[in-house]
Chains A and B, each alone.
Chain A
Amino acid sequence: MNRFLLPLSIFIVVLVFLGIGLKLNPREIPSPLVGKAAPDFSQPQLLEPTKVFSPADMKGKVWLLNFWASWCSGCKTEHPVLMDLAKSGEVPIYGMDYKDQRDEAMTWLSRWGNPYPVVGVDDAGRVGINYGVYGVPETYVIDKQGVIQYKQIGPLDPETVEKKIIPLVKQLEAQ
């Protein structure tokens, strides 16, 4: 090969990668937890503080775990999507109120509506760390064996719910 073509070839390779890079989101960090057992926890419930919420209660069900907070603007964007999904009855969405004030969280739910059958409270952000949460909202799809099958980083939108979440849930249900 002509050695004078070498710089051009290297440049073309770099250019192709830069082109692909334009379509990628460098801030989205895939979770190493997908395919692994959902970390256990047992947290007080938001609405009934004397009761606890634990993933062990969910064995045998396909469910979503949604980390949210009243201070999080992305959660407000996502909220109507969650309400619709909850109404459709396709899959139960359990909430985890992440590093939040209890009264503000309650006000938020009563004002905008509550899509969650149960909301856990993660005051110190420990559950969040165990789940590798780095920015709310984040949503996990957990299967009947308690294994995380999918992680959504950032707000869910109707398209993701339609094209990813619901088909995945159906497939997991069928197993």
Chain B
Amino acid sequence: MIPEIGHFALILALCVAVVQGILPIYGAAVGNSALMAVAKPAARGQFFLVLTAFGCLAYAFAEKDFSVLYVAATSNSQLPLHYRLAAIWGAHEGSLLLWTFILTIWMFAVTLFSAHLPESTRSRILGVMGLVSIGFLLFMLTVSNPFERLIPAAAEGRDLNPLLQDPGMVIHPPMLYMGYVGFSVAFAFAIAALLGGNLDAAWARWSRPWTTVAWCFLTVGIAMGSGWAYYELGWGGWWFWDPVENASFMPWLAGTALVHSLAVTDKRGGFKVWTVLLAIMAFSLSLLGTFLVRSGVLTSVHAFATDPKRGMFILVFLAVVIGGSLALYAWRAPRVGLGGSFASVSREGMLLANNVLLVAAMGSVLLGTLYPLFLDALDLGKISVGPPYFDSVFVPLMAPAIFLMGIGPLAQWKKTSVPDLTKRLRWAFGVSVVTAITLPIAMGNWTPLLSLGLLLAIWIITTAVVSLRERLTHVTGDSLMGRLASVPRSYWGMIVAHCGIAVFIVGVTMVKGFETEKDVRMNVGETATINDYTFRFDGAQDVVGPNYTAARGSFSVSRDGREATVLYPEKRRYTAQNQIMTEAAIDPGLLRDLYVSLGEPLDDGAWSVRLYHKPFIDWIWGGCFIMALGGVLAISDRRYRIAWRRQEQDVPASNRAARRKVA
């Protein structure tokens, strides 16, 4: 009965979505406020309906209702409750429900925080989100119904893929989807503005915090996925440029470009057309990612079970949503004004240059991801495009972008003088170059890439210091603390996010340059030493988990004769599907991770063991969290909250006159 309620709630949600997608947009076009008023209750109603459906599926999982096909396919009676709940998004149908649910959460949030928006804008935004929602609800109800019954019911479920039975998997997909779907808000704002023809600085100010929030979620979501791959897949890697990873990285690149371009549109009224395109692009790439993962057109480590019918559905959906919005863009964008003027060498110019590099990087990832498909479709053979390609293409594209990242915050809006910039950045540049060359030599392994990585990281930090120091001389305050406090949060947000990139780069560079790995055959009592850490194998024991049995190795790690830690890597056998999983044991640390994974049992109690010493690896994810923290700081700026309340004064008439375009 409960699953039927969920199914019915989805059908009702579809009806509401149709109403929400049509009436308010039509109302806004003809100026009928009764029709426009439908948007808010419809969005909220849809939220509660999808919430109901989501709750029903959660209930089916909690109650082990194996008469629901999806529940039987992705869980098992021995699976612990938290993993049964995480199994809601463990496969295609349920993750689609999560997608839709999160879309309605964002809709609900828009209804809460849009009181200051003009009615026509708000109804257009919610209308566009309703239209997107129609697609996903239809998709579920036609070819991917999570509530489909299995009659007769299965006696036992097939179990969740053991790879996904991991705490990281409980939170990674919701975070990632919050990011993907969060871009739908910026997208809806952009489409609404194109429809209404009111692409102004106010539009940018409204979209900015929404985009930043989505970007933060996406950043954290990707970082968590990468961390999960690191400790769960057992090969110690953290990024493989797999199509699924690329599918999440492309919207991130477009979203990063969008966050920056929105800053210009907000502050200077410029780049409007470009910003709109980026908003469309960021969300389109999220949708494209959904297609790539679920259609089976590309082979990937973590692709969903594929079905050509589903692929066809999403393809048509893509064609309608992306094609439609790009057509609208082509139609309306030429009439958009230009905004304030600026010289090529100015903060605007640099942000735009950075945008070009970010979008080129995004385009390269797209090219590399789809190229095997292109060749295959043209019958020109099958190729693989993997990490060596992306590494060699990505670094030269990102290096100049990061160089600009250091200069941008110091450049003035409108026009900046090159000699002046050079003067201000002299010592930052000197310090970066000298450190980047000498540090690797001091550490005993100089490679050009190592130096480049350190150069970029130190460059970001030193330029941030210069920028902060200059900033502090501009603000008033009695003490240093007082002056630090009076620097606006949005500025702190930028500095922190940029430093997050620096931390990330340090992590990547150090791991690539100084990682050590050892494959050994260890008998009980034998030791192996790696970077002054001595690992002693104390034998393996059989342990029984809730739904698996495992051999658990025990390794005492000591440094300079002192006991440091004990690590317990496991080799698990999940009983339901008889799958073997390698569960690595990691001792994380600020400066290094120790990583042990069990290979195969050899004769007389010995095991093949893989040991890693990975310096600075946690900085990779730490950097991502710092970036996201920067985003959080930026949106907590009080300027926004005041702007919410005084949006009418936001673009003063004098300013409008100042930025008027002369056609």
Give residues in A with beta carbon < 8 Å to B: 2, 4-5, 7-8, 11-12, 14-15, 17-24, 26-27, 29-30
The distance in angstroms between the C-alpha atoms of A30 and B382, with both chains bound, is 7
Is the Cβ of A26 less than 8 Å from the Cβ of B376?
Answer: yes
Residues of B within 8 A of A17 (CB): 370, 373-374, 377
B295 in contact (CB, < 8 A): yes
B168: interface (CB < 8 Å)? no
Please, how many angstroms separate the alpha-carbon atoms of A23 and B382 in the complex?
15
Docked pose: A18 CA to B333 CA in angstroms:
27
Contact of B296 among A4, A19, A20, A26 (CB under 8 A): A26
Q: CB-CB contacts of B363-374 with A at 8 A, as 1s and 0s?
A: 000000010111
In the complex, chain B residues 313-343 whose Cβ is within 8 Å of any chain A Cβ = 315, 318-319, 322-323, 326-327, 329-331, 333-334
Contact across chains for A8 and B326 when beta carbons are under 8 A apart: yes
| Contacting pair A8 B329 (CB below 8 A) | yes
CB-CB nearest in chain B for A23? B308
Chain B residue contacts of A12, Cβ below 8 A: 323
A115 and B303 CA atoms in complex are apart in Å by 38
- Determine whether the beta carbon of A27 is less than 8 Å from that of B295: no
Bound CA span A157–B169, Å: 40
Contact B330 A24 (CB under 8 A): no
CA distance A7 to B318 in the complex (A): 14
Q: Which residue of B281, B373, B382 is within 8 Å of A29 (Cβ)? A: B382
List 22 A-B pairs, Cβ < 8 Å: A2-B334, A4-B333, A4-B334, A7-B326, A8-B323, A8-B330, A11-B323, A11-B326, A15-B319, A17-B370, A17-B373, A18-B291, A21-B373, A22-B295, A22-B315, A23-B308, A24-B373, A24-B377, A26-B298, A26-B299, A26-B373, A29-B382
Chain B nearest CB from A105 CB (Å) reads: 24
Contact assessment for B330 and A5 in the assembled complex, using a CB-CB cutoff below 8 Å: yes
The minimal Cβ–Cβ distance linking A158 to chain B, given in whole angstroms, is 22
Please report the C-alpha to C-alpha distance between residue A29 and residue B297 in the assembled complex, in whole angstroms. Answer: 14
CB within 8 Å for A14 and B295 given contacts A2-B330, A30-B381: no
Judge whether B329 and A4 touch: CB under 8 Å. yes
B contact residues, total (Cβ < 8 Å) = 34
> Do residues A7 and B376 form an inter-chain contact, with CB atoms below 8 A?
no
Minimum C-beta distance from A1 to chain B (A): 11
Q: In the assembled complex, how far is the CB of residue A7 from the closest CB belonging to chain B, in whole angstroms? A: 5
Is there a chain A Cβ closer than 8 Å to B277's Cβ? yes
**Set of chain A residues within 8 Å of B323, measured between Cβ atoms:** 8, 11-12, 15
Which 4 pairs between the two chains have the least Cβ-Cβ distance?
A: A21-B297, A8-B326, A20-B377, A4-B330
Query: Which residues of the other chain, B, contact A30 by a CB distance below 8 angstroms?
Result: 381-382
Q: Which residues of B contact A26 (CB under 8 A)?
A: 296-299, 372-373, 376
CA distance A15 to B295 in the complex (A): 13
Min CB–CB distance A174 → chain B (angstroms): 27
Question: Could you say which residues of chain A place their CB within 8 Å of the CB of B370?
Answer: 14, 17
Query: In the docked arrangement, what's the CA distance between A24 and B382, Å?
Result: 11
| CB-nearest residue of chain B to A27 | B299
- Greatest chain B CB density within 10 A among A14, A22, A30 is at A22
**Residues in B neighbouring A29, C-beta threshold 8 A:** 382
Residue ID in chain B nearest A32 by CB atoms: B381
Check if B513 is an interface residue, CB within 8 A of chain A. no
| Closest partner residue, chain A, to B363 (CB atom) | A10
List chain B residues, Cβ under 8 A from A20: 377
Cα distance A115–B409 in the bound complex, in angstroms: 75
A residues near B315, Cβ cutoff 8 Å = 15, 18-19, 22
Contacts of A4 in B (CB 8 A): 273, 329-331, 333-334
Residue B311 interfacial (CB < 8 Å): yes
Question: Does any Cβ of A come within 8 Å of B393's Cβ?
Answer: no
Report A-chain residues with C-beta under 8 Å of the C-beta of B312: 22
A7 contact from B296, B298, B330, Cβ within 8 A: B330
User: B318's closest neighbor in chain A, by CB?
Assistant: A15
The CA of A15 and the CA of B297, in the complex, are separated in Å by 12
A106 and B536 CA atoms in complex are apart in Å by 47
Q: Which of B295, B330, B370 has the most CB of A within 10 A?
A: B330
Determine the distance from Cα of A24 to Cα of B281 in the docked complex, in whole angstroms.
26
> Do A22 and B297 touch across chains, with their CB atoms under 8 A apart?
yes
Residues from chain B with Cβ under 8 Å of A7 in the complex:
277, 280-281, 326, 329-330
Q: Which residue of A lies closest to B296 (CB)?
A: A26
Are A18 and B330 within 8 A (Cβ)?
A: no
A46 CB, min distance to chain B CBs, angstroms:
29
Nearest CB of A to B257, in Å: 14
A15 contacts across to B, CB distance below 8 A: 315, 318-319, 323
Within the complex, the shortest CB–CB distance from A37 to chain B, in Å, comes to 21
Inter-chain contacts of B298 with A (CB < 8 A) = 21, 26
**In the assembled complex, how far is the CB of residue A18 from the closest CB belonging to chain B, in whole angstroms?**
6
Provide the bound-state CA to CA distance between A2 and B335, in Å: 13
Which residue of chain B has the shortest Cβ distance to A26 in the bound complex?
Answer: B299
Known: A2-B334, A17-B373. 8 other contacts (CB 8 A): A7-B281, A7-B326, A18-B295, A18-B297, A22-B311, A26-B296, A26-B298, A30-B381
- Whether A8 touches B327, Cβ cut-off 8 Å, given contacts A19-B315, A21-B377, is yes
Closest chain B residue to A29, Cβ basis: B382
Residues of the A chain whose Cβ atoms lie less than 8 Å from the Cβ of B280: 7
Contacts of B297 in A (CB 8 A): 18, 21-22, 24, 26
For B326, list chain A residues within 8 Å (CB). Answer: 7-8, 11
Smallest Cβ distance from A4 to chain B, in angstroms?
4
Q: Chain A residues near B311 (CB, 8 Å)? A: 22
How near does chain A come to B296, taking the closest CB pair, in angstroms?
A: 7
The winner among B319, B323, B326, B333 for most chain A CB atoms within 10 A is B326
B277 CB to closest chain A CB (Å) equals 6
Nearest A residue to B331 via CB reads: A4
Chain B minimum-CB-distance residue to A19: B315
- Report the separation of the CA atoms of residues A26 and B318 in the bound assembly, to the nearest whole angstrom: 21
Q: B616-640 CB contact bits vs A (8 Å, 1 = yes)?
A: 0000000000000000000000000
* Contacting residues, chain A, for B329 (C-beta < 8 A): 4, 7-8
Report the bound CA distance from A5 to B318 in whole Å.
17
Q: Mark B226-240, 1 if CB is under 8 A from A, else 0.
A: 000000000000000
Complex alpha-carbon distance, A14 and B369, angstroms: 12
Closest to A28 in B: B382
One digit per residue, 1 when the CB lies within 8 angstroms of any chain A CB and 0 when it does not, for chain B 287-315 equals 00001000111110000000010011001
- Most chain A Cβ neighbours within 10 Å, of B284, B297, B308: B297
Determine how close the nearest CB of chain A comes to the CB of B258; give it in whole angstroms.
Answer: 14
Contact status B322-A24, CB under 8 Å: no
Docked complex Cα distance between A15 and B382 (Å)? 20
C-alpha spacing A61/B299, complex, angstroms: 38
Question: How near does chain B come to A31, taking the closest CB pair, in angstroms?
Answer: 10
How does the 8 Å CB contact mask read for B249-292 relative to A, with 1 for contact and 0 for none?
Answer: 00000000000000000000000010001001100100000010
| With contact pairs A4-B329, A5-B330, A14-B370 given, residues A21 and B308 touching in the complex (Cβ less than 8 Å) | no
